[in-house]
Structure 1
């Protein structure tokens, strides 16, 4: 898998299985049947694992003459983000907007740029201004955990509001009625 390339549905299935099972061999993958699909053959699983390994999403190890694969931290984060976004799509909106305001110093510019992308692409936020983001989804808890882990919590403020001007525009952005 080339760097920067998006993960396709088949790769998500592999990552989801590894998240659920911990580690699996190629042989174990060939035993799995997805509804409405042909079972995977040994070669296609091997190629998929090779792509995911090159992308840094999985690692392999040998045990009893078999290759077992498990998620890397990058792979785990990728599949958890995807599952989180899927969960957001099916939840009913509670009518509240979550707003994140942050001000990271220039010395943390790389983090600032990374967090902007993270908020927009993986946590379902929309930029109101350069350092002000909004979402209708209840994701502040997840964001707070990440920020504490990265020692960046002190640069962020959270707001939950029930009214905001130009709300109809935001509802269109998020596909709300």
Structure 2
């Protein structure tokens, strides 16, 4: 496996920005910072690796001429879940037609269904494939 080891110091590196960036990546679950003696290691999590692989796969696929349409009506009590779904749709390069209607060109139907089940919201979400919109 590829490993990046940084052992030197750069005088033009803004350590405050580096610390903030590493902290945000840890909070989002993309980075682990195990210690090895006095050294702090930066290690990508499985979540980060999976998302990088998915992004690479999405970039490589050409459009098959079909639209994926996601329509949802998630209750206000489930706002965080609704926002998670919207964020994931953006990651998958979907565009918002209305507040709860999104369309995309990439064939990620299987991933969408898995994510909907993971969030436990299939009763509030419909996924369609269409030739025209």
Q: Residues 145 and 42 of structure 1: is their aligned pair in 2 closer, same or farther, counting only changes over 3 Å?
A: farther
Match of 2:101 in 1: 132
Question: What SS is found at the alignment partner of 1:144?
Answer: helix
Aligned-pair CA distance for 1:110: 2.9
Q: Does 1:54 align with 2:20?
A: no
Q: Residues 141 and 42 of structure 1: is their aligned pair in 2 closer, same or farther, counting only changes over 3 Å?
A: farther
Long gaps (5+) in structure 2? none
Deviations 1:71-111 (A, max 9, x none): 357xx34x544543343233211111111111101211232
Match of 1:8 in 2: none
The 8 Å contact of residues 67 and 131 in structure 2, kept in 1 or not, is answered as yes
Distance in 2 between the 1:89 and 1:144 partners? Answer: 20
In structure 1, which of residues 22, 29, 54 is the aligned counterpart of residue 5 of structure 2? 29
The 8 Å contact of residues 81 and 123 in structure 1, kept in 2 or not, is answered as no
Match of 2:129 in 1: 160
> Larger % of helix: which?
1
Measured on the aligned residues, the alpha-carbon RMSD in Å equals 2.9
Report which structure shows greater RCO (CA 8 Å, sep ≥6): 2
**TM-score w.r.t. structure 2 length?**
0.72
Match of 1:148 in 2: 117
**TM-score w.r.t. structure 1 length?**
0.57
Match of 1:103 in 2: 73
Distance in 2 between the 1:51 and 1:43 partners? Answer: 18
Deviations 1:4-45 (A, max 9, x none): xxxxxxxxxxxxxxxx66xx6xxx524xxxxxxxxxx62259
Deviations 1:125-163 (A, max 9, x none): 111221111111011211222221221222111111112
Distance in 2 between the 1:126 and 1:49 partners? Answer: 32
Q: Residues 59 and 88 of structure 1: is their aligned pair in 2 closer, same or farther, counting only changes over 3 Å?
A: closer
Long gaps (5+) in structure 1? 1-19, 31-40, 165-177
